[in-house]
Amino acid sequence: MKRVGFFRSIQMKFVLIYVLLILFAMQIISVYFVNSLEEKFTSNFKTSLEQRVNLLEYNLREEMLKERDEQSNTLEQDIRRVLEDFSSASDVNEVRVINMENRIIGTSDSNNRGIVGQRLPDLSVKRALSAGQTEDEMYIAENTGQRVWVLTSPILSNSEVIGAIYLVGDIETVFTQLDDINEILFSAAVLALAITAILGITLARTITRPITDMRRQAVALGKGNFSRKVKVYGQDEIGELAVTFNNLTKRLQEAQATTEGERRKLSSVLSYMTDGVIATDRRGRVILINEPASKMLNVSRETVISQPIVSLLNLEEDYSFDDLLNEQDSVILDYSTHDRPYVLRANFSVIQKETGFVNGLITVLHDITEQEKIEMERREFVTNVSHELRTPLTTMRSYLEALADGAWQDPDIAPNFLDVTQTETERMIRLVNDLLQLSKFDSQEYNLMKKDTDFIDFFNKIIDRFEMTKSQEVTFRRKLPRYPIYVTIDQDKLTQVIDNIISNALKYSPEGGLVSFKVEEHGNTIQISISDQGMGIPKKSLDRIFERFYRVDRARSRKMGGTGLGLAIAKELITAHGGHIWAKSVEGKGTTIFFTLPADLSEEDDWE
């Protein structure tokens, strides 16, 4: 797991939140305190100047109402004297006295005496002279850029306005004091935040340390390490969480051990099952497939995981996943090709919770190719036997009905009908005998009476018999060793095999044809071949001529009186002798039947 950086850790978040809360609280307190202090200082400044202006108003009223003679000071001189005493305060920039004609009759600014006698166009002065209103206003002076407070107050005598006072107060000193206080508050806030951050880190560590330990434990659990334990730092909620986490770790370890044991059992069962097993999730995608199933479907596990099961089994056209969930019967999967039959049977079982929620589907595959092949052969065998028996029986019934209807009295027809009936009866007897013999072979009842035999002499006698009794103009050519080769065989059974092969060669050989006989030595076996120059066998039928009742040309074979079981019996007998039989053929040129037999080809010791 990727390590969490300090700036993304819960400790940093805790400290940051803690500092931000303190900063927010201090901001609120500072804003409230500064605003209250500013309001208080401003109010005190204004009240102080208003009280002094009231005193100034009294002095100016006395001077303005006093009678003067030629020896007395002028009004302007007396007012200047009064203003000089008043303007000694540092918080007053200038005080002007205006008479009823709106002319300045005095100013406290010695550098601005030139304005005396001029009119003052200020509206607040006009209102004070006309209506006796007191007005104040604060603005920023253009020449200094500092804040000033202007107070305009009327001079009253018996409720009559006799003049006005225009005072310019230096209120900037109040804001300078507030700035100093703000600096002090800012320094205090920075110091408090630093101390808060240190305390927050210390406090956060006490909380995040056990959480960090639990995170490390969770990472270890994710990697399968259940040996670590979380340290318990106290008896508080985090301590109880650590104890609970340790208990959870122990239970997870026990559950993991149980699950691993069950998984191994399941894996062992699936590995040694001969049937294929496929499991899907609730959406029908493959999540498990065992080795037999992979081999049956000729796929690899890596390529089919997460693949839809209907696609894996090639059922998209006939089934959906919901159809498979509701399928009660087996589904036959036919993957047969022209050259190779291959059939599987799929059984489906739904995985459900107790609530009925479908978790997935289990599919079990059985290879029923051999069963289907045996069943098909059984059906074909029954059909062939029925057909082979029905043909002679139908013929016999027809001829017997004709004889019963009076044909037996006809000396020309009756013998022919009886001869046909006898021929068909003998054919059925041969068929039944062949079937009984094959039945014994199926039960492994060969009853071979083996003895050592010189095969060359044995083979020559059989060929001689056919050469003497043949009715066709067919030439026999032999290519046999001139020395004895001994084999251990049942002479009667092997005579039956060779008779059948030679009979077939003669049946399908044309007039003037050639039948060849050959024996070769190959290690500890001998290979016998019998060839004809008949019509040959198509390549697609060459591997099936040893099957029961299989005929390349059914009409011609039946006409020649064969049962279709001769080569099947020959194959069983050669196999029982430990040999192998096969055929090679070219259409239009002939057929060669080969078979092998174990032989004793070791040289005999000479005795003196």
Return the higher-pLDDT residue of 89 and 511. Answer: 511
Q: Cβ contacts of residue 551 below 8 Å, gap of 6+?
A: 557, 558, 562, 564
Q: Residue 388: pLDDT above 70?
A: no
Select from 3.90.180.10, 1.10.10.10, 3.20.20.140, 3.30.450.20 the CATH code of 11-177: 3.30.450.20
> Sorting pLDDT into bands at 50, 70 and 90, what band is 604?
very low
> Sorting pLDDT into bands at 50, 70 and 90, what band is 336?
confident
Q: Residue 606: pLDDT above 50?
A: no
Q: What is the pLDDT of residue 523?
A: 84
Contact 157, 5 (CB under 8 A): no
Stretch 468-490: mean pLDDT: 89
Q: Which range (323-337, 396-410, 531-545) has the least confidence? A: 396-410
| Residue recorded with tokens 């046909």 | 420
What kind and span of H or E run contains 422? helix 414-442
> Sorting pLDDT into bands at 50, 70 and 90, what band is 605?
very low
Q: Residue 560: pLDDT above 60?
A: no
In the Cβ-directed half-sphere of 309, how many Cα atoms lie within 13 Å? 31
Select from 3.40.50.150, 1.10.287.130, 2.60.120.10, 1.10.260.40 the CATH code of 373-442: 1.10.287.130
Q: What is the pLDDT of residue 488?
A: 92
Q: Residue 2: pLDDT above 60?
A: no
Q: Which range (232-246, 266-280, 376-390) has the least confidence? A: 376-390
Q: Residue 349: pLDDT above 80?
A: yes
Return the higher-pLDDT residue of 77 and 488. Answer: 488
Q: Enter the CATH code of domain 273-367.
A: 3.30.450.20
Angle between helices 455-469 and 491-508 (to 10 degrees): 40
Question: What proportion of the chain, given as a percentage, has pLDDT over 70?
Answer: 85
C-alpha 305/C-alpha 310 separation (Å) is 13
Please, where are the H alpha helices in 69-171? 75-86, 123-131
Q: What is the pLDDT of residue 24?
A: 82
135 by DSSP, 3-state: which?
Answer: strand
Q: What is the pLDDT of residue 470?
A: 81
Q: Give the number of residues written for the chain.
A: 608
pLDDT digits (tens, 9 = 90+) for 421-477: 777 777 677 667 766 666 665 656 657 788 899 999 999 999 988 888 887 888 999
Return the higher-pLDDT residue of 255 and 217. Answer: 255
pLDDT digits (tens, 9 = 90+) for 52-95: 888 888 888 887 887 766 666 777 777 888 777 776 666 788 88
Q: What is the pLDDT of residue 555?
A: 46
Q: Which range (38-52, 95-109, 561-575) has the least confidence? A: 561-575
Q: Residue 227: pLDDT above 80?
A: no
> Sorting pLDDT into bands at 50, 70 and 90, what band is 563?
low
Q: Residue 543: pLDDT above 70?
A: yes
DSSP code per residue over 41-58: HHHHHHHHHHHHHHHHHH
Q: What is the pLDDT of residue 458?
A: 92
Residues 553, 557, 560, CA angle at the centre, nearest 5°? 150
Residue 324: name the closest of 278, 276, 274, 371 by CA.
Answer: 278
Q: State the pTM of this model.
A: 0.41
Q: What is the pLDDT of residue 10?
A: 64
E strands, 281-418, are 286-289, 331-334, 343-352, 358-367
Asked whether this chain's domains 11-177 and 273-367 adopt the same fold, the reply is yes
Stretch 350-368: mean pLDDT: 83
Q: What is the pLDDT of residue 413?
A: 75
Return the higher-pLDDT residue of 95 and 266. Answer: 95
295 by DSSP, 3-state: which?
Answer: helix
Instruction: Give the CA diameter of the chain.
Output: 204
Q: What is the pLDDT of residue 518?
A: 94
Q: Euclidean distance between the first and final Cα of the chain, in Å? A: 92
Q: Taking the mean position of all CA atoms in its chain, how far away is CA 557?
A: 62
Annotated domain spans of the chain = 11-177, 232-272, 273-367, 373-442, 451-598
E strands, 315-439, are 331-334, 343-352, 358-367
Q: Residue 558: pLDDT above 60?
A: no
C-alpha 290/C-alpha 282 separation (Å) is 19
Stretch 200-215: mean pLDDT: 73
> Sorting pLDDT into bands at 50, 70 and 90, what band is 520?
very high
Return the higher-pLDDT residue of 605 and 38. Answer: 38
Class of domain 451-598: alpha beta
Most confident of 30-34, 423-427, 590-594: 590-594
Beta-bridge partner residues of 530:
517, 593
Judged on CB neighbours under 10 Å (0-12, 13-18, 19+), 322 is exposed
pLDDT digits (tens, 9 = 90+) for 121-162: 888 888 888 888 888 888 887 777 788 888 888 888 888 888
pLDDT digits (tens, 9 = 90+) for 279-298: 888 888 988 888 888 888 88
pLDDT digits (tens, 9 = 90+) for 309-324: 888 888 888 888 888 8
Beta-bridge partner residues of 476:
515
Q: What is the pLDDT of residue 608?
A: 32
C-alpha 258/C-alpha 100 separation (Å) is 109
Q: Taking the mean position of all CA atoms in its chain, how far away is CA 570?
A: 58
Q: Residue 212: pLDDT above 80?
A: no
Return the higher-pLDDT residue of 36 and 196. Answer: 36
C-alpha 534/C-alpha 511 separation (Å) is 10
C-alpha 200/C-alpha 12 separation (Å) is 9
Q: What is the pLDDT of residue 460?
A: 92
